[in-house]
Every structure is written in structure tokens, then in C-alpha cells.
């Protein structure tokens, strides 16, 4: 058959929608479109990420060049991914989804989801939102915290809250940590409006619903899930709360309070109480004190390579920003840890301020979890637009899982970070873990999730941000401000995610539940070790399990991945079971004490 005949032949059959050639023709058209979209998107995305990277790692007061570049690059990306032309084509193809492959449909759906965050039908809103976000990041990370008139870094604030036994000092440091709130308030109120209005243009009810929809869930479904986690952990949390009230009252020589005063807790938001206890023979802060920050990151990498992952690419080491800036740097950087997939391929970087202590040890492993997730799914089989986690909680869960594994005794002994001859009080160790993982749930699934839901879905008035926040903190965490905090403060906005990672904090709550499910599976089925005392180091089989989970990225439905990797629904049962021995111990400790938490 000559060429013309072939074309005519094809055209003739293509008039019949049920035949294979018709399907194939559409499929080719979609494939071609997807390939062109991916190429252009990757180019624009990389430019935007590079500009964002500069904006987050090199913040100079009064300098507008970074902001201008970031705005331009983000606008170019938004103009493409949210263009009316792209939205119409994607919708047009999705109307014929029955004739497309599941992988094509997944890509188109991911693209439509991205478009809804920057829809070309409301270009002014998109531009305003980009500018407002860039400005907010500069305000947040360019802020100079001060204690008694002297500059103090977030790392120093955190260290003092972990270590100081002096209540007056604790109060001063806690207050200093909240000073940034009011600076951020006008920007956040504006961002709330812009975030809501942009996604409404493509039919979402509000920005919270938009973010949740990435899980294929409604807001109500997500709130039911987070409520369930809180409920499952409530008995344990109630006992931890009672234990902390009595223990801290004694430590500080104060009467036992009904609600824990926020400045008594070893974290700015009371989200992590790990530092309340030291475990004799397992004191990671002490073990790390004489190591370098670089050693921490290298050792983290070695943990992953021991599981069969490749060493990190040279560009990771050259281009990341891993350590705190010297005080005389002349510029500031984002001090909150993050991992970046710059080009959706092999340019992976992390932004951290690592110091040799237990917090940064765990955080480094968390960030490297993101990095190895990026690397695992950056392969030709995974289309660019599906280079994401099975869902966002999976992405958060992997590194946290490795973080949990890295704090267990068998592992620490193997790494010469704990003395094999030392007697370790196992209940105390379990207590320390609960002060990390269980304590986090009321904050993440409760306070943060409910606050952001109120903010975006319920139109929370700007003059009740603080009242709402402290009401939630009281109800979920059983924590109270040291003194009344009126609306001249804006305490929720001191939490970085509210500004630059909005309406997604339930990811971490789900990740915590998920990581106990994964850990339980790995400990029992792969390592055949007690989940309370594992050593993942060197287990290729564990690495294979994790890689198999990560390699498909978002190209498979997450519920399917969940069933295969844990065999059960997402809930907190594995976490509750893990802490059962501690729960029994706490009941004994708290006998005769009055609980105040509902
Ligand atoms: O933000 C983080 C990571 C970056 S993805 C360091 N985390 C949450 C937080 O710090 O509030 C990890 C646990 C919770
Ligand atoms: Zn993370």
C-alpha cells in the first residue's frame, strides 16, 4: 500500500469510533500532546524552581532582583500549565477517557489538577498570588528574631526550648518566637483570598478542598480520617498529657496546671515533646555532639546506600544548602528543612540548617527520604507529571520511617552511636518515641488541619485568627498560652507551612500513621525483628520493598499501593499497638492523678 492509500485507509476507519484504529489514532494524538506538554512544562518548571531556590537560600533585605526573577519564572510556568488552551485540550481528551489508557488518564488528571492552581481564566489573580507568596516567603525567612534586643536564630530558639529549665528564660524565648506573626498577617489574609479565588475559577469550593482532592477525597472525608486518627490515639495522648502536666510541674516547681502552658514544652508549637525525656544509654544528642553537621548528612546517605540505594549524585552535594549560614553572611535563608526536585529529573537538592543534634539527625533522614523518593521515580517509565508520591503522605512517610528506624537501639549500636553494654530502660525509650509520634497527631490532624479548614473553607474572620488557633490548641493538644494572646498577635502564622505549604498539613498526620504500618510490616515480615528494636542497616530486602513502593511514583492509585504494602486501610492501629506497653505503664504512673483532657 502506498502512502496516500494508507492515510486514506486510516481516515476511513477512523470515522468509526469503536474500532481499534480510531482508538489508536486518538491515543497517538494524546501521546504526542502529553510529550510536548511534559517537555515544555519541565523547562518552565526548572526555571521556576531555580528562581525559587535563590529566593529561599539568598534573602537580602531590600533586594528585589530575586523576587522579580521568581515572579517572572512562576508566571511563565503558570501561564503554560494553566492556559485556557491546555485546560480545554485536557478536558477534551478526558471526555473521551474510555478510549485512553489508564496511564494517559492519570497524566491528564494530574495536569488538570495543576491547572486549577493557576487557571488562565483569571490571570490577574494568578499573578497577584505569585507575587504575594514570594513576598510572604521573604517576610517569613528574612525576619530577624530577637531575644532581649539581641538577634537569635530559629535553631537557637529551638535549642533553648529543648534545653532550658529556667521558666523566665523559656517564656522570653517562646515570646520571641511568636514575634514574626503580626508581620505575616496582612500577607496571609491576602493569600487566603487569592488561593481561594484561583481554585474557585475551576470549580473547587475552596483551597482546602482543592488540596485535599489530590487524594481523591472530599474535605469531609479527610476530616473524618484525621478525626479517626485523633480518636484512636486519644487514650494514649490523654495519659501522656497527664504525665507531662505532673512531671513538668515538678520540674519547674509549679502547681499542676489543667492545661500545659505552651512555654513549658520543648517546641515552639508543642508539636514534638521528644526533648522532655533523656534515655540513659540512648542519648543521641550527646552521641552526636562531637560530630560535624556534614557527618550527619553523610551518615544519612550511608544508611540509604546500606539499603541498596545509589549514592547521592554529585550535584546534590554541590548545589544543596545544607548548613546554617554564618552570622556575618549578609543574607538569610529559609531555615525550615525541605527537599527539592528541581527539574523533575536528576537535579535533587535539600535546603536545611543541619547541626549535630537529634532533631537534625531525624530531619536529615526525613529529607533524604524525599530525595530518594524523587530519585526512585525519575525513570523513563514514569511520566514527568506523575513524578510525585503515591500520595503526599507517602512522600512524607518514607523519610520519617527511616527516621524512626534510625532512633532504635539496634541501629544506634550498629552505628556506634549507643553503647551496647549500657542498660536501656525500654519503657523510657518508648515514652520518648511517643512524645514524638503520638504527641504530633493532635497538632497535625487536629490543630493545623482544623485551623486551615476554618481559614479556607469557613472564611475565618481576620480578627479571630488567634482566638480560633488557641481554642483548637486547647481542645486538641490541651495546651494554653502563657498569658492571654489577643488578636494583636498572629500565632498560627509563625508555623511556616501556613504561609508556604498551605492546607496540606494532614499529610504529616497520615504519614505518621502510615509509617507505623510500614514499619510493622518491615519489622515482622522482612527483618523478623521486634518492631520496638529493629536494625534496618544493610537490609537489601527492606530497600527493595521501599524501592518497589516508590518507583511507580503517582502512576498507580494510592489505595492499591497501600493495600499491597500494608495489607490494611490507613489508620492508627499499628501506632496504637506499638505503644500499648507504654500505655499500660502510663496508667500506673497516672493512678490517682486527675486527667483534664476530654
Ligand atoms: O516540615 C517538615 C519537614 C519538611 S517536609 C521537615 N515536617 C513537619 C514540621 O516540621 O512541622 C516534618 C514533620 C512535621
Ligand atoms: Zn517532608
Using H for helix, E for strand and C for coil, what is the string for 500-512? HCCCCCHHHHHHH
404 lines ligand 1 (CB under 6 A): no
Whether ligand 1 lies within 6 angstroms of the CB of 338 is answered as yes
Q: Is 223 helix (H, G, I), strand (E, B) or coil?
A: helix
The answer to whether the Cα torsion of 57, 393, 447, 171 is positive or negative is negative
Q: Which residue, by CA, sits nearest to atom 7 of ligand 1?
A: 508
What whole-number distance in Å separates Cα of residue 464 and Cα of residue 470? 10
- How far is 395 from 550, CA to CA, in rounded Å? 9
Does ligand 1 come within 6 angstroms of the Cβ of 508? yes
337 lines ligand 1 (CB under 6 A): yes
pLDDT score, position 1: 43
Long-range Cβ contacts of 296-303 (<8 Å, 24+ apart) = 296/354, 296/356, 296/360, 296/361, 296/364, 297/322, 297/352, 297/354, 297/364, 297/368, 299/415, 300/361, 300/364, 300/365, 300/368, 301/368, 303/365, 303/368, 303/402, 303/406, 303/536, 303/537
C-alpha cell at 123: 490571570
CB within 8 Å of 534: residues ≥ 6 apart: 405, 408, 410, 411, 519, 522, 523, 527
User: Which ligand is closest to the CA of 445, given by its number?
Assistant: 1
Q: Which ligand is nearest to the CA of 364?
A: 1
Pocket test for ligand 1, best of 56, 363, 494 (most atoms within 8 A of CB): 363
Tell me which residues of the chain have a pLDDT lower than 50. 1-14
As a three-state string, the secondary structure of 415-465 is: CCCCCCCCCCCHHHHHHHHHHHHHHHHHHHHHHHHHHHHHHHHCCCCHHHH
- Quote the CA–CA distance of 186 and 421 in Å, as a whole number: 56
Tens digit of pLDDT for each residue in 81-97? 999 999 999 999 999 99
Side-chain half-sphere of 245: how many Cα atoms within 13 Å? 22
Which residues sit in the known binding site?
A: 215, 366, 370, 396
With residues binned 3-state (H G I as helix, E B as strand, rest as coil), the percentages for the chain, rounded to 5, are 65, 5, 30
Mutation to probe ligand 1, out of 154, 349, 351, 366 (largest number of atoms < 8 A from CB): 366
Task: Give yes or no: 362 in active site.
Answer: no
Start-end of H helices in 458-557: 465-472, 496-500, 506-521, 540-550
The strand pairing partners of 146, in sequence order, are 151
Q: Quickly count: other Cβ atoms within 10 Å of residue 190's Cβ.
A: 17
| 499: Cβ contacts below 8 Å, ≥ 6 apart | 136, 137, 140, 184, 187, 188, 191, 493
User: Hey, whose CA ends up nearest to atom 2 of ligand 1?
Assistant: 337
| List 43, 54, 298, 497, catalytic entry | 497
- Cβ–Cβ < 8 Å for 192, 455: yes
3-state class (DSSP) for residue 153? coil
> What pLDDT score does 16 carry?
56
CB of residue 371 inside a 6 A radius of ligand 1: no
Q: How far is the CA of 502 from the centre of ligand 2 (A)?
A: 14
Q: Which residue has the cell 496582612?
A: 186
- Exactly one of 367, 388, 433, 452 is catalytic; name it: 367
Nearest CA to ligand 1 atom 1: 337
Q: Which pairs from 298-303 meet CB under 8 Å and 24+ separation?
A: 299/415, 300/361, 300/364, 300/365, 300/368, 301/368, 303/365, 303/368, 303/402, 303/406, 303/536, 303/537
263 is catalytic: no
The domains of the chain are located at: 23-143+182-203, 220-589
Q: Please, which residues bridge with residue 341 across strands?
A: 348
Q: Give the annotated binding-site residues for chloride.
A: 215
> What's 220-589's CATH class?
mainly alpha
**Which residue has a Cα nearest atom 5 of ligand 1?**
338
pTM of the model as a whole: 0.95
Cβ–ligand 1 distance for 83 under 6 Å, the answer no
Cα–ligand 2 centroid distance for 144 (angstroms):
25
Output the CA 164–ligand 2 centroid distance in Å.
28
Report CA-CA distances (Å) from 307 to 238, 296, 548: 37, 17, 13
- Cα–ligand 2 centroid distance for 367 (angstroms): 6
The ligand that comes nearest to the alpha carbon of residue 370 is 2
* Among candidate residues 76, 45, 84, 44, the one with its CA nearest the CA of residue 201: 84
Q: pLDDT digit string (tens) for 123-133?
A: 999 999 999 99
Amino acid at each position: 500500500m502506498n502512502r496516500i492509500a494508507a492515510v486514506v485507509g486510516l481516515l476511513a476507519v477512523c470515522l468509526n469510533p469503536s474500532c481499534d484504529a480510531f482508538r489508536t489514532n486518538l491515543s497517538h494524538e494524546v501521546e504526542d500532546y502529553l510529550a510536548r506538554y511534559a517537555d515544555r512544562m519541565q523547562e518552565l518548571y526548572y526555571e521556576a524552581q531555580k528562581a525559587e531556590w535563590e529566593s529561599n537560600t539568598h534573602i537580602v533585605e531590600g533586594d528585589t532582583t530575586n523576587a522579580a526573577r521568581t515572579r517572572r519564572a512562576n508566571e511563565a510556568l503558570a501561564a503554560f500549565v494553566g492556559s485556557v488552551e491546555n485546560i480545554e485540550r485536557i478536558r477534551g481528551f478526558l471526555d473521551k477517557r474510555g478510549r485512553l489508557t489508564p496511564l494517559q488518564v492519570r497524566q491528564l488528571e494530574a495536569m488538570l489538577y495543576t491547572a486549577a492552581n493557576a487557571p488562565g481564566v483569571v490571570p490577574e489573580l494568578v499573578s497577584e498570588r505569585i507575587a504575594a507568596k514570594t513576598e510572604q516567603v521573604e517576610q517569613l525567612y528574612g525576619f530577624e528574631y530577637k531575644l532581649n534586643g539581641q538577634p537569635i536564630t530559629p535553631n537557637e530558639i529551638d535549642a533553648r526550648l529543648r534545653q532550658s529549665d529556667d521558666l523566665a528564660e523559656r517564656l522570653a524565648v517562646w515570646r520571641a518566637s511568636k514575634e514574626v506573626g503580626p508581620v505575616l498577617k496582612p500577607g496571609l489574609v491576602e493569600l487566603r483570598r487569592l488561593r481561594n479565588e484561583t481554585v474557585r475559577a475551576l470549580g473547587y469550593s475552596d483551597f482546602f478542598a482543592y488540596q485535599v482532592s489530590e487524594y481523591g477525597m472530599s474535605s469531609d472525608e479527610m476530616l473524618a480520617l484525621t478525626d479517626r486518627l485523633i480518636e484512636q490515639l486519644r487514650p494514649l495522648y490523654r495519659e501522656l498529657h497527664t504525665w507531662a502536666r505532673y512531671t513538668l510541674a515538678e520540674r519547674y516547681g509549679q502547681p499542676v496546671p489543667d492545661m500545659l502552658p505552651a512555654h513549658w514544652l520543648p517546641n515552639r508549637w508543642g508539636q514534638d515533646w521528644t526533648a522532655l525525656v533523656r534515655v540513659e544509654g540512648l542519648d543521641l544528642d550527646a552521641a552526636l555532639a562531637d560530630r560535624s553537621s556534614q557527618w550527619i548528612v553523610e551518615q544519612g546517605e550511608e544508611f540509604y546506600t546500606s539499603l541498596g540505594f545509589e549514592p547521592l549524585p554529585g550535584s546534590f552535594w554541590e548545589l544543596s544548602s545544607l548548613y546554617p549560614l554564618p552570622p556575618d553572611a549578609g543574607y538569610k535563608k529559609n531555615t525550615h528543612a525541605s527537599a527539592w526536585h528541581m527539574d523533575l529529573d536528576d537535579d535533587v537538592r535539600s535546603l536545611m540548617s543541619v547541626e549535630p543534634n537529634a532533631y537534625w539527625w531525624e530531619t536529615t533522614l526525613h529529607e533524604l527520604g524525599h530525595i530518594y523518593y524523587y530519585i526512585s521515580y525519575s525513570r523513563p517509565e514514569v511520566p514527568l507529571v506523575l513524578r510525585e508520591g503515591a500520595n503526599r503522605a507517602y512522600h512524607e512517610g518514607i523519610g520519617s520511617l527511616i527516621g524512626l528506624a534510625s532512633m532504635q537501639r539496634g541501629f544506634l549500636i550498629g552505628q556506634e552511636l549507643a553503647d551496647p553494654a549500657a542498660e536501656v530502660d525500654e519503657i523510657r525509650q518508648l515514652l520518648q518515641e511517643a512524645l514524638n509520634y503520638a504527641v504530633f497527631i493532635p497538632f497535625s490532624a487536629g490543630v493545623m488541619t482544623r485551623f486551615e479548614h476554618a481559614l479556607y473553607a469557613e472564611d475565618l474572620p481576620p480578627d479571630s485568627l488567634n482566638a480560633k488557633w488557641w481554642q483548637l490548641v486547647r481542645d486538641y493538644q490541651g495546651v494554653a498560652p502563657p498569658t492571654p494572646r489577643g488578636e494583636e498577635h498572629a500565632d498560627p502564622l509563625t508555623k511556616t507551612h501556613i504561609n508556604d505549604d498551605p492546607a496540606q498539613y494532614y499529610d504529616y498526620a497520615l504519614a505518621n500513621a502510615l509509617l507505623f504500618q510500614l514499619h510493622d510490616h518491615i519489622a515482622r515480615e522482612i527483618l523478623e525483628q521486634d518492631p520496638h528494636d529493629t536494625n534496618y542497616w544493610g537490609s537489601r530486602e527492606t530497600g527493595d520493598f521501599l524501592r518497589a513502593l516508590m518507583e511507580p511514583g503517582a502512576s498507580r492509585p494510592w489505595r492499591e499501593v497501600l493495600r499491597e504494602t500494608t495489607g490494611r486501610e490507613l489508620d492508627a492501629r499499628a501506632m496504637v499497638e506499638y505503644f500499648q506497653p507504654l500505655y499500660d505503664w502510663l496508667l500506673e504512673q497516672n493512678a490517682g492523678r486527675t486527667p483534664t483532657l476530654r
